[in-house]
Structure 1
Amino acid sequence: MSVESRWIKWDNKQYIQIVADEEKLCSAVLTWHDIESIGSRARRTLVYPSAWSPDEVETDPALNNTLTRKAHLLREARDKYVARLHPIDSLKETVTERGIWTDQYIKLIAFNLTQFSRVLVLDSASQPRGNLDAVFLLPKAKLAMPWVYWGEPTGWAFSNQMMLVTPSATEFAKIQAEIEKADPDQYDLTIVEKLYKGKTLKIPQRPYHLMTGEFRRQDHSKYLGSSKKWDPEDALHKSKMLHFSDWPIPRPWDSAPQAMLNKHMPKCLKSEWFGATNCKDRMMWMQLYADYAAKRKGFCGSHFEVKVRDQEADAMLRHGRFFHDEAT
């Protein structure tokens, strides 16, 4: 079935972003901007803690009842980018107890959005570059995720940069039960691997899963699916989803120290022409991060300006679980 079909009920199909902190809320607004610019038939829903309000004002009298940063961004999502606001009571900014709302499991809330037939959960570090509506028309499955194309990992063969979920109260109950007995260092991927291994539908990497780490790689045959010559401009142009993932470079809302950038940025290659150097991968990679930083400050305000910060290895990386070497 084509996305043009008049028989498709797009109201039941939703782009979902789930946020529990201010930084991710800014990222969500950037994503809604991209989707609005590209266009979509599927609707948009922003899930966030019920303690937030689009009407919240600053308590400092000197600020003259101006909206808080969160309220401003919620209104941007709702009024400018037509995202439905969906506050959830159990979603909290800071929690010490384990639960579905903690950061490592937050995307799995999508399984409980049973008012929709299908939801596409987008990662905060993902950037839509083309229309994604066709993803909703993939064959029926409880879960669909992009395949990790650059080689079989030690753990799970799928990426959670986007998750196409068929919401189900039954499945959500299973997920909650697994989370309650999970070890502290376990991740959302641990849960979905246990419950959906062998049942997860593959979303193809082309055009739905181009990673910034691909620009750092020397061998692009796994992404291209052939020995075809790599053209970074062509790959980016054809991609419908870019994912910022360049460990140990931080995610795009933080900037790496210059020494780290110098060490891990894409290498310049020898050109076909004598005496020349090809730095196209490096230039494009650096521009992607620079554009994101400028966009973040421009859309969300100076408070969200990208600043230098070292990235700590999360549980997934500390244990090597689901880790993939993106620079080979």
Structure 2
Amino acid sequence: MANLYSTKALGRAWPPSTPTASPRTSSRGRFIPWDLNPPRQRPAAVEESWFQDLRLLRGRLTERLVLVLVLVFCAAFLIRNHEHLISPGTRAWVGTLHLSRLGGSLLPPWSRVHWSDYAYVSYATTPDYLCNSVMLAESLHRLGAKPDTLILYSSDLTTSSSPHPASARLIYQATALYGARTEPVSVLSASSSSSSSSTADTTWSASFTKLLAFNQTRYKRVLSLDSDATLLQPLDELFLLPPTAPVALPRAYWLNNTLCTSVLLASPSEADFARVRARVEKAAPQEVDTDVINALYGDGCLVVPHRPYLLLSGEMRAAGHEAYLGGGGGEWDAVKVLAEAKYVHFSDWPMPKPWMASSEGLRRELMPGCKGLGEGGCGDRDVWVGLYAEFRERRKRVCGPEFIMYEEEEKQLDNLPPLAQAMSGGQPIE
């Protein structure tokens, strides 16, 4: 063995005259310092710092695991906090680009939205409006809306000396069947309205309760909706509008220079709620929630387009539709307008609300005539009648027979025009 070199550390031996084609390595991937042939010179590039960093990947198992964990942590941090790391203007631009290319949604394809930070909010101060709020919760649940649903109801509905027998059932139904959150509140009213005695005045003064949406600070944004309406499509994309103002809402397109609070997007905060409450306390006797919001935010809000987010039922009876169609003009077709609309608010004076009984003579007097396009030229009439009939059918199905006030009108549903029959035939409007 005199002609052999040996090493006890590795237990290997080889003749000194045997050339080695490449540096020998151990099982751990390290160069053996006693190799007879010197290693080949590496190019200068591989000696740079980035190459030395890459050698970590060839290191020990512990080093690899630490590197993987660091990468996973960084990826999770970026995914969770991308909304804060990317400017609102960039998010809005990307969302608008996605909308223009694919059509339909303002949601960026890479965005992961925490929908529990947002909520649809409605309020109820009477049993009839509690039924309406539960109907709205049913529609949001059926249509697959992603944010929470919150119903603010007057505590008197369940704690008064003679509560409505169905109030407790409706509150439980909203939670158990439709996943809504319910919260008893005190009615918010102006000090000057406390002496009002008429039912109409009481109903209008109670509308200030809607402004409790500004106090729901558990949410980043809330979308307050009037419940005397029919929701045709979810409004989830409104929650992702650029946060450039504390309030976003549409204009009352049938009026001049007035904002409409039927659809009100707010960013709740203690400061804004204190400001709103102070303005409510000094409201004039004839002022309502719309007056308060216009006074506080009329010059500094984000304006939501009324198409497709706000359509009045009375628009079907209007003589002209230039205000709704906008400056671009276009041809009025009630059937197509209903198909694009997402939210229809029942505002149709002197026609009463759809859950209230009305005389046959008044209905016939106010019913739109056969004009315009769609369904043989009677699209306005068919859509108008169908909206009322569908609301009544859904109210009976959701709230129960205790809330039916128009039994004599039920008998006339068989004589509805074809479109109205389809809308009221037990199937919700899709």
Confirm or deny a common fold (TM above 0.5): yes
Distance, in Å, in 1 between the alignment partners of 2:373 and 2:171 is 48
Q: 1:72 aligns with which of 146, 164, 169?
A: 169
Distance, in Å, in 1 between the alignment partners of 2:318 and 2:227 is 23
Partner residue, 2:218: 115
Work out whether residues 132 and 240 of structure 1, in 8 Å CA contact, stay in contact via their aligned partners in 2.
yes
- 2:276 is aligned with 1:167: no
Partner residue, 1:18: 123
Q: After superposition, give the CA deviation of every residue in 1:28-73 in whole Å (9 maximum; x if it has no partner).
A: 11111111111111111111134556xx9x99xxxxxxx9411111
Work out whether residues 49 and 92 of structure 1, in 8 Å CA contact, stay in contact via their aligned partners in 2.
no
Partner residue, 1:318: none
Unmatched segments (≥5 aa) in structure 2: 1-94, 96-105, 196-201, 408-430
Q: 1:143 aligns with which of 239, 247, 267?
A: 247
The alignment partner of 1:46 has SS state of strand
Instruction: Give the Å deviation of 1:5.
Output: 5.0
- 2:312 is aligned with 1:211: yes
Larger Rg: 2
Work out whether residues 188 and 209 of structure 2, in 8 Å CA contact, stay in contact via their aligned partners in 1.
no
Q: 2:183 aligns with which of 75, 81, 86?
A: 86
Instruction: Give the Å deviation of 1:165.
Output: 0.9
How many residues get paired?
A: 289
Q: 2:393 aligns with which of 272, 282, 294?
A: 294
Give the counterpart letter for 1:179 in structure 2: V
- 2:300 is aligned with 1:199: yes
Q: Using a 3 Å threshold, how does the CA distance of structure 1 residues 117 and 254 change in structure 2: closer, same or farther?
A: same
Q: After superposition, give the CA deviation of every residue in 1:152-207 in whole Å (9 maximum; x if it has no partner).
A: 1xxx5121211111112111112221222222211111111211121121111111
- TM-score, normalised on structure 1? 0.80
Q: 1:232 aligns with which of 325, 334, 338?
A: 334
Q: Using a 3 Å threshold, how does the CA distance of structure 1 residues 169 and 84 change in structure 2: closer, same or farther?
A: same
Q: 1:180 aligns with which of 263, 281, 293?
A: 281
Q: 2:378 aligns with which of 279, 285, 289?
A: 279
Instruction: Give the Å deviation of 1:270.
Output: 7.6
Larger RCO (CA under 8 A, 6+ residues apart): 1
Q: 1:105 aligns with which of 182, 198, 208?
A: 208
- 2:321 is aligned with 1:220: yes
Work out whether residues 297 and 306 of structure 1, in 8 Å CA contact, stay in contact via their aligned partners in 2.
no
Give the counterpart letter for 1:28 in structure 2: S
Judging by fraction of residues, say which structure has more helix.
2
Instruction: Give the Å deviation of 1:111.
Output: 0.8
The alignment partner of 1:255 has SS state of coil
Q: After superposition, give the CA deviation of every residue in 1:130-161 in whole Å (9 maximum; x if it has no partner).
A: 12100111121211111222351xxx512121
User: Which has the larger displacement, 246-255 or 75-84?
Assistant: 246-255
Partner residue, 2:134: 29
Work out whether residues 372 and 380 of structure 2, in 8 Å CA contact, stay in contact via their aligned partners in 1.
no
Distance, in Å, in 2 between the alignment partners of 1:177 and 1:80 is 37
Work out whether residues 207 and 240 of structure 1, in 8 Å CA contact, stay in contact via their aligned partners in 2.
yes
Work out whether residues 148 and 157 of structure 1, in 8 Å CA contact, stay in contact via their aligned partners in 2.
yes
Distance, in Å, in 2 between the alignment partners of 1:34 and 1:42 is 13
Distance, in Å, in 1 between the alignment partners of 2:371 and 2:144 is 37
Partner residue, 2:152: 47
Work out whether residues 187 and 206 of structure 2, in 8 Å CA contact, stay in contact via their aligned partners in 1.
no
Q: 1:248 aligns with which of 344, 350, 354?
A: 350
Unmatched segments (≥5 aa) in structure 1: 60-66, 309-328
Instruction: Give the Å deviation of 1:277.
Output: 7.2
Distance, in Å, in 2 between the alignment partners of 1:9 and 1:197 is 30
Distance, in Å, in 1 between the alignment partners of 2:277 and 2:331 is 46
Q: Percent identity?
A: 33
Work out whether residues 231 and 343 of structure 2, in 8 Å CA contact, stay in contact via their aligned partners in 1.
yes
Q: Using a 3 Å threshold, how does the CA distance of structure 1 residues 131 and 41 change in structure 2: closer, same or farther?
A: same
